[in-house]
Structure 1
Amino acid sequence: MRLLIIGRLDGELTTASRIAMSRGASVVQADDLDQGLAVLRAKGADLIMVDVALSVSDLVGALEAERIRTPVVACGAGADTRGAVDAIRAGAKEYIPLPPDADMIAAILEAVAADQAAFVWRDPAMEKVVKLAEQVARSDASVLITGESGTGKEVLARHLHQRSARRSKPFVSVNCAAIPDALLESELFGHEKGAFTGAVARRIGKFEEANGGTLLLDEISEMDVRLQAKLLRALQERVIDRVGGAKPVPVDIRVLATSNRNMADAVRAGTFREDLFYRLNVVHLRLPALRERPGDIIELAQHFARKYGQANGLPERGLSHDAKRVVLKNPWRGNVRELENAVHRAVLLATGAEIGPDALMTPEGDALGAEPDAATRAARTAEAVTRALVGRTVAEVEQDLILDTLDHCLGNRTHAAKILGISIRTLRNKLNEYTASGVAVPEPGQARPVAMAG
C-alpha cells in the first residue's frame, strides 16, 4: 500500500504517518498540493491523505482533470466539524479526526487495498464504461458485460459489486464455460442428497451461496439452452429448485453476466434464449479491447510491475523508455491478461534498475513485438481457428458457415451452394430446417438481418 500524505508532517500528522507505516504502508510526504500532484504523476499512490488546512476541492478537481483515480481521505482536528463536512462534500471518501485512531487508519488502508488492487484504468474510452457502471451500481438491475477474452470483464463485475449496496454481502462467480453441462445445474442451484449418483449429501448452489449479494455468471453464452430455461425462471421468480428438491427456495441476489461472444448473434443462431437475453441485458457494458484504449496500457503495465515485484520480493522497478515503446506498439491480442503475463515475466527476467525491452518476451522466448515468420503465423492462425471451434457442435459450426456464406452472397442460393461445395437441394433443405427452428435466413437479394424482434 502506497500512501501519499499531503501536508506538513508535524505533530499529529506525523503520528498518523507512523501508524500507517506500522501497518505496512509505504509513506511519501508532500508539503503542498503542487508537490503532491508531482509525486502522483511520477510514482503514483494507492491512497492520499490530505490535511484539511489545504484545499481538498482543488486537489479533487486536479485529480479529475488528470484522470487520476487515487481515493482521497481528509484529516484534521477532531473539533473541526466544518472542515470535515467541507472535505466530504469536496469528494474525500473519509475524514480522519486528529489525533489519529490506529484502528481507523488500519481499517481505511485495508478497505482501499481490497477495493483498488485490481481495477486500473486511465483511457477516456474506458472512462465512459466505468462511469456508466458506477451510475447503475447501486441498483439491482441485471448487467451484461461483453468484450474480448482478457479485457477484464470479471474485474469490472467485482467493481460493480464493490460500488453496490450489496458490497458487504458475498460476491460469487461461476464460469459457465468451464463446468460440464451435466454438472452446471447442480453447481448453480444445488442438489439434495441422493438426487443423482454421487450426491451423498445436500449441497447449496451458487445462487444460495450468493444470497443477499451478487452472482456473476461468467461466459453465460456457453450455457446449454435447456438450462437457460431454468435460469430464466430463477431470475423472474427469485426462487430456485435444487436438483432433486421438493420445494422452491427463495433467493435475493443481483445477477451480472459476461460473454466474449456477440449475444445478438447467439440469439439469432438459436443457441441463446431471446427472453433470457433481454432479462440479463437491462444494462449493457461493452469493455473495449486493450488496443482500443491505449491510455490504459502503460498505467496497467506499471501496476503489474509493482504487483509482481512485491509478490516476488523484488525491488520496485519501473519500465524504461524503450520498454514503454515496445509495450505501446504491441497489439495485445490477449488484452489485459496477455499484458499482465508479459509484465510478470519481465519482472522476473529484468536485471537492471529498470525493466528494459530485453526482458519483455513472449512465452516462447521471442522478443515481444518481433514479427514471426510465415510458417509460425500460419501455425498460430490454425491453432486460433481450432481453439475457437472447441466446445461447439458440428451442427452449430455448419449452420454458421452456411448462413455466413449466404450472407456474403446476398441470399443467392445457387452462388452460395457452389462456394460451399453442396447441391442447391441440400442447401435449401438446410435453410428450411433453420427457418423452422426460428433462425433468420436472408431472402434472395438481401443481406442477413441484423436486428432482432423486440
Structure 2
Amino acid sequence: MRLLIVGALEGQLTTATKLAMDGGAKVAHAPSIEIALASLRAGRGADLLLVDVMMDIAGLIAGLEGERIVIPVVACGTESNAAAAVSAIRAGAKEYIPLPPDAELIAAVIAAVARESSDFLFRDPVMARVVKLAEQVAPSEASVLITGESGTGKEVMAKYLHSRSKRASRAFISINCAAIPEALLESELFGHEKGAFTGAVARRIGKFEEASGGTLLLDEISEMDVRLQAKLLRAIQERLIDRVGGTKPVPVDIRIIATSNRNLSEAVKDGSFREDLLFRLNVVNLKLPALRERPGDTAALADHFVDKYAKANGLGRRVLSAEARDALLRAPWPGNVRELENTLHRAVLLSGGEIIGPDAISMPDGTGLSEVVAMASVATQAAQTAETISRAMVGRTVADVERDLILDTLDHVLGNRTHAANILGISIRTLRNKLNQYADEGLAVPGPGEQRNSAA
C-alpha cells in the first residue's frame, strides 16, 4: 500500500510514519497540501493520505474533489485537538488517528480504509488448479480476466499474478470502476490537462500513466459505462491514451488485469458491455470458485482468521471446536471469504474462552451458525426435490402432467371437489369438466370420500 504523509515530519508523526512502514506501507512525504497535490497530479500516486489535523484538511479535500482525484484521507493529531478532529471528519476525512500513535490502530485504519490484504491461502484441490493456471500465465504479457462471486478473492489473485510477473518490481495500480462516479472515472483513468474542466488547475496524470511499466487492475470492470469502454478498448489495443482535454496521445506500457462478479457474456447480450472489449480482456480467464465449492480452503482460512484476530486483539489462544469446524464447512457462505473472515473476527471477539463452539458463531443479524446450516440444508433438500420432480416430468406432455396433478390432488382431499379446486386454483366447473373427460377416457376418478383406484 502507498501512503502519502502530509505535514511536518516531527515527533509523533515521524513515529506514525515508521509504524506504517513497519506494517508494509510504502511511504512518501509532502510537507504541504500544495506539494501533496502536485505529487498526485504528477502520477506518483497514493492509496491513502495521512494528514496532520492542523493542516487545512477541508481545503485539501476540496482540492482533491475539484481535480477529480479519488483518494481517502485520514487525519491524525494529538488528543487535545478534539475540535480540529471533529472539523476534519466533517470536512470529509474517513478516520481520525490520535497521537501518540498506536501500532495496532494505525495498521487497522490503514487496512480498513485502503482495503489492502496480502493474505493468499489455499488448500483445496479446486483452488489449486486455478492457482496453477495463474502461475503459468503470470510471466506473460497477456491480459487476464478474473471472475467469480463477490468475496472470493479476485483482487488478491490479481496481486498474486503481478508478484509473479516480469513486472513485479514495478507499480501495481488498482482502480475500482464501481466505486468512482462515471463523471470522474475517465479523468481517474486517463488523467486530464490544465483547463480541461472547472477545477483542472494543472495537468493530472491518470492511472494508466501511473501504472506504466507495471500492472493496472480494473476492478469490477462490468460497472464501467459502455461509452467509456470504447476509449478503454483503444488504450488497451494501441497502448495509447488521451488525457481529458489533451490533443496529443500519450504512450503507456502496462499489463491489464480485470475483475468482474457478473457474467460478462450476458452483459454483452444485454448491451451493457462491449463484445470487442471482452475479447481483448479475456485472453486468459481465471474463474475463482465460490468458497462453498472448496471446503479445504474453508477449514484452512477459518484457522487462519481465528489466529489472526486473536493476536490482533491481544487475546489468548483461540481454537475452533470440531462441531464449529463442521458447521463452518456446511454453511453456504454467500459472501465467500469476506463473509467468513468477518464472521470469525466477530466470533473471536465474543468467545468466552479458548474453545470457539458453534453457538459462539453468529451472523451480523444475530442468526446462529447452526440455524444458518439448518436452513441451508432445508433449502438444498427442497432444490434437490424440485430437480427430481422436474426431471421426472421430462418427456411427458403438459396434458399428462395436468391430469396426474388433478387426480393426485383429488386423492389427497378424499374426493372433495371444492377443496381440490381451491388448492389447484381453478373453478369447480373446470375441475368437473376435467374429471368427466378423464372418466370418459377410462380413468378411475374418486368420488367424495374415496381415493382413486388403479386406472381401468
Same fold (TM over 0.5): yes
The one-letter amino acid of 1:321's match is: A
For residues 240-285 of structure 1, the C-alpha deviation after alignment (integer angstroms, 9 at most, x for no partner) is 1111112111111110001111111111111111111000000011
Per the TM alignment, residue 371 of structure 1 is displaced from its structure 2 partner at its CA by 4.7
Matched with 1:362 is 363
Q: CA deviation at 1:116?
A: 9.8
**Residue 140 of structure 1, CA deviation:** 0.8
| Matched residue, 2:319 | 318
Alignment pair present for 1:261 and 2:249 = no
State whether residues 359 and 370 of structure 2, in contact with CA within 8 Å, keep that contact through their aligned partners in structure 1: no
Mapping of residues 24-173 of structure 1, within 5 Å: 117-173=118-174
* Residue in 2 that maps onto 1:280: 281
Q: Secondary structure at the match of 2:307?
A: helix
Cα distance in structure 2, aligned partners of 1:209 and 1:252: 10
5 Å-filtered alignment, 1:240-389, equals 240-371=241-372
Counterparts of 2:141 and 2:355, CA distance in 1: 46
Q: Give SS of 1:370's match.
A: helix
Look up the match of 1:111. Answer: none
- Hey, what does 1:187 align to over in structure 2? 188
Match of 1:229 in 2: 230
Cα deviation for residue 200 of structure 1 reads 2.3
Counterpart amino acid of 2:208? F
- Paired AA for residue 354 in structure 1: I
Superimposed CA distance per residue, residues 396-450 of structure 1 (whole angstroms, 9 cap, x where no aligned partner): xxxxxxxxxxxxxxxxxxxxxxxxxxxxxxxxxxxxxxxxxxxxxxxxxxxxxxx
Q: Residue deviations 1:291-346, cap 9 Å, x none?
A: 11111101011111122222222223221112101211211011111101101111
- Does residue 204 of structure 2 align to residue 203 of structure 1? yes
User: Are the counterparts in 1 of residues 331 and 373 from structure 2 also a CA contact under 8 Å?
Assistant: no
Find the aligned partners of 2:152 and 2:311 in 1 and give their Cα distance: 24
Q: Tell me the residue number matched to 1:80.
A: none
Query: The residue matched to 1:215 in structure 2 has which SS?
Result: strand
Moved over 6 A (4+): none
Offset at 1:355?
A: 2.1
Which letter does structure 1 place at the counterpart of 2:134? Answer: A
In 1: Cα distance, 2:374 partner to 2:292 partner: 23
Percent identity for Structure 1 against Structure 2: 70
Alignment check: 8 A CA contact 1:345 1:359 kept: no
Tell me which structure has the larger Cα radius of gyration: 2
TM-score normalized with structure 1 length: 0.56
Question: 1:411 corresponds to which residue?
Answer: none
Q: Is the 8 A contact 1:329 1:369 kept in 2?
A: no
Q: Distance in 2 between matches of 1:258 and 1:247?
A: 30
Q: Distance in 2 between matches of 1:221 and 1:230?
A: 15
SS in 2 for 1:173: strand
Q: Over aligned residues, Cα RMSD in angstroms?
A: 2.4
TM-score (norm 2): 0.55
Q: Deviations over 1:53-101 (max 9, x none)?
A: xxxxxxxxxxxxxxxxxxxxxxxxxxxxxxxxxxxxxxxxxxxxxxxxx
> What pairs with 1:210-221 in structure 2 (closer than 5 Å)?
210-221=211-222
Amino acid in the other structure paired with 1:280:
L
SS in 1 for 2:303: helix
Deviation of the 1:201 alpha carbon:
2.3
- Structure 1 residues 213-248: Cα deviation after superposition (integer angstroms, max 9, x where no partner): 111101101111110010011001111111111211
Structure 1: distance between partners of 2:341 and 2:151: 10
**Do the aligned residues in 2 keep the contact of 1:145 with 1:286 (CA within 8 Å)?**
yes
How far residue 370 of structure 1 moved from its aligned partner, in angstroms, is: 1.2
* Residues 369/169 of structure 1: CA separation in 2 closer, same or farther (3 Å cut): farther
